[in-house]
Chains A and B, each alone.
Chain A
Amino acid sequence: DAGITQSPRYKITETGRQVTLMCHQTWSHSYMFWYRQDLGHGLRLIYYSAAADITDKGEVPDGYVVSRSKTENFPLTLESATRSQTSVYFCASSEPPGTDTQYFGPGTRLTVL
Protein backbone atom coordinates (compact mmCIF):
# COMPACT_ATOMS: atom_id res chain seq x y z
CA ASP A 1 0.00 0.00 0.00
CA ALA A 2 1.48 3.35 -1.04
CA GLY A 3 2.22 6.00 1.54
CA ILE A 4 4.50 6.65 4.45
CA THR A 5 4.94 4.08 7.19
CA GLN A 6 6.73 4.09 10.50
CA SER A 7 7.93 1.24 12.67
CA PRO A 8 7.61 0.37 15.40
CA ARG A 9 4.38 2.14 16.30
CA TYR A 10 5.08 1.78 20.02
CA LYS A 11 8.40 1.30 21.78
CA ILE A 12 9.43 1.14 25.41
CA THR A 13 13.13 1.27 26.18
CA GLU A 14 15.48 2.08 29.01
CA THR A 15 17.78 5.01 29.59
CA GLY A 16 21.11 4.56 27.82
CA ARG A 17 19.92 2.12 25.18
CA GLN A 18 20.19 2.75 21.47
CA VAL A 19 16.89 2.92 19.61
CA THR A 20 16.22 3.22 15.89
CA LEU A 21 12.91 4.41 14.50
CA MET A 22 12.20 3.51 10.90
CA CYS A 23 10.46 5.57 8.24
CA HIS A 24 9.63 4.37 4.74
CA GLN A 25 7.83 6.19 1.93
CA THR A 26 6.69 4.86 -1.43
CA TRP A 27 6.16 8.16 -3.27
CA SER A 28 9.84 8.75 -4.10
CA HIS A 29 9.61 12.16 -2.46
CA SER A 30 12.96 13.88 -2.29
CA TYR A 31 12.44 15.49 1.10
CA MET A 32 11.94 13.67 4.36
CA PHE A 33 11.59 15.03 7.89
CA TRP A 34 11.58 13.85 11.49
CA TYR A 35 9.54 15.68 14.13
CA ARG A 36 8.82 15.08 17.76
CA GLN A 37 5.47 16.00 19.27
CA ASP A 38 5.28 17.01 22.91
CA LEU A 39 2.37 18.46 24.82
CA GLY A 40 2.37 22.23 24.58
CA HIS A 41 5.19 22.33 22.03
CA GLY A 42 3.41 21.19 18.92
CA LEU A 43 5.78 19.51 16.49
CA ARG A 44 9.47 20.35 16.49
CA LEU A 45 11.79 19.46 13.64
CA ILE A 46 14.66 17.16 14.58
CA TYR A 47 16.35 16.52 11.22
CA TYR A 48 15.47 16.68 7.58
CA SER A 49 16.88 15.40 4.32
CA ALA A 50 16.69 16.94 0.87
CA ALA A 51 17.82 13.78 -0.94
CA ALA A 52 19.74 10.57 -0.40
CA ASP A 53 22.99 11.25 1.48
CA ILE A 54 21.96 14.85 2.26
CA THR A 55 20.77 15.61 5.79
CA ASP A 56 20.56 18.72 7.93
CA LYS A 57 19.73 19.64 11.50
CA GLY A 58 16.39 21.04 12.56
CA GLU A 59 15.37 22.79 15.74
CA VAL A 60 16.13 19.99 18.25
CA PRO A 61 18.82 17.65 16.83
CA ASP A 62 20.83 16.91 19.98
CA GLY A 63 20.88 13.23 20.92
CA TYR A 64 19.67 12.06 17.51
CA VAL A 65 21.38 10.71 14.42
CA VAL A 66 19.91 10.21 10.96
CA SER A 67 21.02 8.63 7.72
CA ARG A 68 19.56 8.44 4.23
CA SER A 69 21.30 5.89 2.06
CA LYS A 70 18.15 5.29 0.00
CA THR A 71 15.52 7.81 -1.08
CA GLU A 72 12.66 5.81 0.46
CA ASN A 73 14.13 5.29 3.94
CA PHE A 74 15.02 7.78 6.65
CA PRO A 75 15.84 6.09 9.97
CA LEU A 76 16.20 8.08 13.18
CA THR A 77 18.54 6.76 15.86
CA LEU A 78 18.69 7.73 19.50
CA GLU A 79 22.26 6.77 20.34
CA SER A 80 21.76 6.73 24.12
CA ALA A 81 18.13 7.29 25.01
CA THR A 82 17.20 9.70 27.79
CA ARG A 83 13.88 10.21 29.56
CA SER A 84 13.54 13.62 27.93
CA GLN A 85 13.31 11.83 24.59
CA THR A 86 10.01 10.23 25.59
CA SER A 87 7.72 11.59 22.90
CA VAL A 88 5.71 10.82 19.79
CA TYR A 89 7.87 10.88 16.68
CA PHE A 90 6.49 11.70 13.25
CA CYS A 91 8.15 11.19 9.92
CA ALA A 92 7.03 13.24 6.92
CA SER A 93 7.91 13.59 3.27
CA SER A 94 7.35 16.12 0.53
CA GLU A 95 8.18 16.97 -3.03
CA PRO A 96 10.82 19.59 -3.81
CA PRO A 97 11.37 22.33 -2.91
CA GLY A 98 10.38 20.88 0.43
CA THR A 99 8.30 23.81 1.52
CA ASP A 100 5.10 22.51 0.01
CA THR A 101 2.66 20.09 1.63
CA GLN A 102 4.26 17.55 3.91
CA TYR A 103 2.72 14.10 4.23
CA PHE A 104 2.95 12.52 7.63
CA GLY A 105 3.34 8.98 8.85
CA PRO A 106 1.23 7.52 11.68
CA GLY A 107 3.83 8.22 14.36
CA THR A 108 5.87 6.20 16.84
CA ARG A 109 5.15 6.56 20.54
CA LEU A 110 8.46 6.13 22.37
CA THR A 111 8.73 5.78 26.13
CA VAL A 112 12.14 5.89 27.79
CA LEU A 113 12.14 4.52 31.34
Chain B
Amino acid sequence: AQSVSQHNHHVILSEAASLELGCNYSYGGTVNLFWYVQYPGQHLQLLLKYFSGDPLVKGIKGFEAEFIKSKFSFNLRKPSVQWSDTAEYFCAVNPNNAGNMLTFGGGTRLMVKP
Protein backbone atom coordinates (compact mmCIF):
# COMPACT_ATOMS: atom_id res chain seq x y z
CA ALA B 1 0.00 0.00 0.00
CA GLN B 2 1.13 3.51 -0.70
CA SER B 3 2.23 5.26 2.44
CA VAL B 4 4.22 7.96 4.17
CA SER B 5 6.84 6.89 6.71
CA GLN B 6 8.42 8.92 9.46
CA HIS B 7 11.15 6.78 10.91
CA ASN B 8 11.73 8.61 14.17
CA HIS B 9 8.75 8.48 16.48
CA HIS B 10 10.42 10.29 19.37
CA VAL B 11 13.45 12.58 19.26
CA ILE B 12 15.07 14.29 22.24
CA LEU B 13 17.63 17.02 21.64
CA SER B 14 19.37 19.69 23.64
CA GLU B 15 19.02 23.32 22.66
CA ALA B 16 21.35 24.38 19.82
CA ALA B 17 21.60 20.83 18.48
CA SER B 18 20.87 20.23 14.82
CA LEU B 19 17.69 18.50 13.76
CA GLU B 20 16.85 16.22 10.89
CA LEU B 21 13.54 14.38 10.71
CA GLY B 22 13.10 11.77 8.03
CA CYS B 23 10.10 11.40 5.74
CA ASN B 24 9.79 8.85 2.96
CA TYR B 25 6.83 8.16 0.72
CA SER B 26 5.99 5.38 -1.66
CA TYR B 27 4.05 7.15 -4.43
CA GLY B 28 5.64 6.78 -7.84
CA GLY B 29 4.34 9.85 -9.64
CA THR B 30 4.37 13.57 -9.08
CA VAL B 31 3.62 14.64 -5.53
CA ASN B 32 3.05 17.72 -3.42
CA LEU B 33 4.83 17.57 -0.07
CA PHE B 34 4.15 19.24 3.26
CA TRP B 35 5.45 19.45 6.80
CA TYR B 36 2.98 20.40 9.50
CA VAL B 37 3.72 21.09 13.16
CA GLN B 38 1.52 20.73 16.21
CA TYR B 39 2.75 22.62 19.28
CA PRO B 40 1.48 21.41 22.67
CA GLY B 41 -2.17 22.31 23.06
CA GLN B 42 -2.40 23.91 19.63
CA HIS B 43 -3.77 22.91 16.27
CA LEU B 44 -1.71 21.81 13.29
CA GLN B 45 -0.10 24.52 11.24
CA LEU B 46 1.93 24.50 8.06
CA LEU B 47 5.72 24.67 8.37
CA LEU B 48 6.57 24.45 4.69
CA LYS B 49 5.51 22.91 1.41
CA TYR B 50 6.97 21.79 -1.89
CA PHE B 51 5.09 21.72 -5.17
CA SER B 52 7.81 22.20 -7.79
CA GLY B 53 11.03 24.08 -8.52
CA ASP B 54 13.97 24.35 -6.12
CA PRO B 55 14.02 21.11 -4.11
CA LEU B 56 15.34 22.94 -1.05
CA VAL B 57 12.39 24.64 0.58
CA LYS B 58 12.57 27.14 3.40
CA GLY B 59 9.73 27.50 5.86
CA ILE B 60 8.88 29.40 9.00
CA LYS B 61 10.99 29.55 12.17
CA GLY B 62 14.24 28.56 10.43
CA PHE B 63 13.06 25.17 9.18
CA GLU B 64 13.91 23.83 5.76
CA ALA B 65 13.29 20.61 3.87
CA GLU B 66 14.93 18.96 0.90
CA PHE B 67 13.04 16.97 -1.70
CA ILE B 68 15.15 14.16 -3.11
CA LYS B 69 13.09 12.54 -5.84
CA SER B 70 15.40 9.58 -6.34
CA LYS B 71 15.10 8.68 -2.66
CA PHE B 72 11.37 9.48 -2.36
CA SER B 73 12.31 11.62 0.63
CA PHE B 74 11.41 15.01 2.07
CA ASN B 75 13.48 15.40 5.23
CA LEU B 76 13.00 18.32 7.58
CA ARG B 77 16.03 20.13 9.00
CA LYS B 78 16.91 22.93 11.37
CA PRO B 79 20.52 23.87 12.15
CA SER B 80 19.93 24.85 15.78
CA VAL B 81 16.79 23.94 17.68
CA GLN B 82 15.22 25.91 20.50
CA TRP B 83 13.13 24.80 23.45
CA SER B 84 10.12 26.36 21.70
CA ASP B 85 10.49 23.82 18.86
CA THR B 86 9.15 21.12 21.16
CA ALA B 87 6.19 19.80 19.19
CA GLU B 88 4.94 16.96 17.03
CA TYR B 89 5.91 17.12 13.37
CA PHE B 90 3.95 15.54 10.55
CA CYS B 91 4.99 14.92 6.99
CA ALA B 92 2.15 14.81 4.45
CA VAL B 93 1.96 13.89 0.80
CA ASN B 94 -0.59 14.64 -1.88
CA PRO B 95 -0.11 12.51 -4.98
CA ASN B 96 -1.21 14.55 -7.97
CA ASN B 97 -3.44 11.75 -9.17
CA ALA B 98 -5.21 11.36 -5.81
CA GLY B 99 -7.62 14.24 -5.97
CA ASN B 100 -7.62 16.24 -2.78
CA MET B 101 -6.45 13.65 -0.32
CA LEU B 102 -3.47 14.24 1.95
CA THR B 103 -1.74 11.21 3.42
CA PHE B 104 0.07 11.88 6.67
CA GLY B 105 2.97 10.11 8.25
CA GLY B 106 2.71 8.83 11.81
CA GLY B 107 4.36 11.91 13.27
CA THR B 108 7.56 12.58 15.21
CA ARG B 109 7.45 13.93 18.72
CA LEU B 110 10.37 16.27 19.32
CA MET B 111 11.40 17.29 22.80
CA VAL B 112 14.05 19.97 23.15
CA LYS B 113 15.71 20.15 26.53
CA PRO B 114 16.61 23.67 27.72
Contact = CB atoms under 8 A, between A and B. Distances in A.
Interface string B21-44: 000000000001010100000111
B94 to A, nearest CB: 5
Interface residues of A, number: 26
B63 interface: no
A63 interface: no
Interface residues of B, number: 25
Contacts of A59: 101, 103
Contacts of A107: 43
A21 to B, nearest CB: 15
A22 B71 CA distance: 40
A42 to B, nearest CB: 4
B100 interface: yes
Interface string B3-16: 01010010000000
Contacts of A48: 100-101
Nearest to A102: B102
A104 B49 contact: no
B46 interface: yes
Given A31-B100, A48-B100, A42 B90 contact: yes
A92 B106 CA distance: 18
Interface string A35-54: 10000111111001010000
Contact of B49 (A33, A56, A101): A101
Nearest to A91: B43
6 contacts: A42-B4, A48-B100, A56-B99, A99-B100, A101-B49, A102-B102
Interface of A: 31, 33, 35, 40-45, 48, 50, 56, 58-59, 90, 92, 97-102, 104-107
Which 10 residue pairs are nearest across A and B when measured between Cβ atoms? A98-B100, A42-B104, A104-B44, A43-B104, A42-B106, A104-B43, A106-B43, A99-B94, A42-B107, A101-B46
Interface of B: 4, 6, 9, 32, 34, 36, 42-46, 49, 90, 92, 94, 96, 99-107
